[in-house]
């Protein structure tokens, strides 16, 4: 819930592109700490997971906030529905990836977060123009 509030504040001050980049970077930081430092030290694992989960949760919140900005008004609900359909469809593969050997699931998470950062650079921010 704190990540969702943080997403709203970040969107207000940083705009869309910088907010996406910042929260994907937060998720990448949490995932990278799990990937490289491991889960041996039990007191730090909740912190790493919170960073990764918080970054992704904030990005989902920003997606809902900016959907009206990215898509034309007439197609906003349809486009968001199609995006949700493909997102839910691709989560079918999540249990299979989670069952792979230990470094692979976090490597996939980190690579998807890094891909999100790269793709965020191509977003066009139309607010306040």
Structure tokens at 24: 């994907």
The total of other beta-carbon atoms located within 10 Å of residue 52's CB is 23
Residue 52 domain flag? yes
With contact defined as beta carbons under 8 Å apart, do 65 and 20 qualify? Answer: no
- Would 68 be classed as within a structural domain? yes
Instruction: Show the domain range for 47.
Output: 2-120
For residue 57, the model assigns a pLDDT of: 96
Residue 128 lies in a domain: no
Confidence of residue 128 (pLDDT cuts 50, 70, 90): low
Within 10 angstroms of residue 56's Cβ, the number of other Cβ atoms is 21
Both structure tokens of 73 = 């008004």
pLDDT over 90 (residue 39) = no
What are the C-alpha distances in Å from 121 to residues 21, 37, 50, 124?
8, 29, 25, 8
pLDDT band at 28 (very low <50, low <70, confident <90, very high): very high
What does the alpha-carbon distance between residue 24 and residue 53 come to, in Å, rounded to a whole number?
10
What average pLDDT is seen over the chain?
92
The Cβ of residue 18 has, within 10 Å, a number of other Cβ atoms equal to 15
Task: Report pLDDT for 125.
Answer: 76
Give the confidence band of 41 by pLDDT, cuts at 50, 70, 90. Answer: confident
Q: How do residues 92-119 score in pLDDT, each as one tens digit?
A: 999 999 999 988 999 999 999 999 999 9
Q: How large is the angle between the packed helices 76-90 and 45-70, nearest 10 degrees?
A: 150
Q: Is there a domain that residue 75 lies in?
A: yes
Structure tokens at 105: 């699931």
pLDDT of residue 109: 96
Cβ neighbours, 10 Å, residue 65: 15
Are the C-beta atoms of 89 and 35 separated by less than 8 Å?
Answer: no
Mean pLDDT to the nearest integer, 23-37: 96
User: Is 72 domain-assigned?
Assistant: yes
Q: What is the pLDDT of residues 60-97, one digit of tens each?
A: 999 999 988 888 888 999 999 999 999 999 999 999 99
Task: Determine, yes or no, domain membership for 58.
Answer: yes
Number of structural domains the chain divides into = 1
Residue 127 lies in a domain: no
């Amino acid at each position: 819930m704190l990540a969702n509030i943080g997403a709203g504040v970040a969107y207000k001050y940083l705009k869309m592109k910088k907010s996406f980049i910042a929260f994907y970077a937060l998720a990448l930081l949490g995932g990278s700490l799990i990937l490289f430092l491991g889960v041996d030290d039990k007191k730090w694992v909740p912190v790493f997971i919170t960073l990764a989960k918080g970054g992704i949760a904030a990005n989902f919140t920003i997606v809902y906030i900016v959907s009206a900005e990215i898509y034309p008004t007439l197609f906003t609900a349809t486009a968001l529905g199609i995006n949700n359909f493909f997102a839910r469809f691709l989560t079918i593969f999540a249990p299979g990836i989670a069952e792979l050997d230990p470094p692979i699931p976090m490597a996939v998470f980190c690579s998807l977060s890094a891909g999100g950062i790269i793709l965020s650079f191509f977003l066009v921010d139309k607010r306040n123009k």
